[in-house]
Amino acid sequence: MTLDSDVQRWLLEGDPAIRWQVMDDLLDRPQSSVQRERSKVATAGWGKALLDVQDPEGTWAHGIYSRKWVSTTYTLLLLWRMGLPPTNDAARRGCAVLWDSVIVDGGVLLKTQTVPPDICISAFWLLLAAYYGHEDDRIPAVLEWVLDHQLDDGGWNCATIRTGSSHSSFHTTIQVLEALQVMDANAEAAARGREFLLEHRLYRSHRTGEVANKAFTMLSFPPRWHYDILRALDYFRAVNAPVDTRLEDALDLLRSKRRKDGRWPVQNKHGGLVWFDMETGRQPSRWNTLRALRVLRGAEDSA
């Protein structure tokens, strides 16, 4: 896939979190150059801005999971998506605080909670521990609990614990799949989870073929806990999932969202507190353009 020179120049004018991924995923630059650029996520731009507002006690916004989207959980997840080097001391300290803040009752349960453990939160904790190299004797039990709650249709649903729901959730499934990806764990469970998404063509009702939720078709970044087609397609690319014609519907939809200038927009910003806005809906999105281009490049390479 040929990268338009104007789009390439525009992407490389962005934050280090954008630049290193462009160099790696679109330009195939030498790994020495890629890693030099990646290291700047901790020392410049958006990554440094987030690290600079860490609380003295190691949290962000003095919160563990709330307030959205400035709490420790969501800040660490955003730094992961930026590619902050996983050896970063500040992020590792924050991850340790997360695990110190929970008890394990099957899944992860915040010490301040009185509700049952949550599959989505458990998946977040597993992902962050794996990425930032946090060791905790309880991690295998949490992973086993999450896997034990995989539903017959292949996915997962946070509501299963609360209501007994037997149909999987797009949101919960992608969160568990991303955790398994980072952990490099249980390929069989991950394949079944992908099959759930494929049976739905990534965004359609398996019963009617209609769009299951309009928000699934709208591109966002950061996705937070929300599902959309670009998040799913980027996951399939990242794990080198086998070629499957059931991805074509979502790929065509992604292609249709490309602007005349070769860029993609932000279509759906998830309401909540933020430390700062990386992008606005009035401008093309470097994040979504980077992610869309690498998805389409991967699709072409595997065709």
Q: Give the predicted TM-score (pTM) of the model.
A: 0.97
In angstroms, the Cα distances linking 49 to 16, 42, 52 are 12, 9, 5
Q: What is the distance between the alpha carbons of residues 88 and 101, in angstroms, rounded to a whole number?
A: 20
Q: List domains and CATH numbers for the chain.
A: 58-302 (1.50.10.20)
- For residue 45, what pLDDT is reported? 98
CB 227 within 8 A of CB 158: no
- For residue 281, what pLDDT is reported? 75
Q: Please identify every stretch of the chain with a pLDDT value under 50, giving residue numbers as ranges.
A: none
CB 244 within 8 A of CB 196: no
Both tokens assigned to 276: 């700062």
CB 36 within 8 A of CB 26: no
Q: Spell out the long-range contacts of 256-260 with Cβ–Cβ below 8 A and sequence spacing 24 or more.
A: 257/219, 257/292, 258/292, 259/284
CB 91 within 8 A of CB 132: yes
- For residue 37, what pLDDT is reported? 98
- For residue 70, what pLDDT is reported? 98
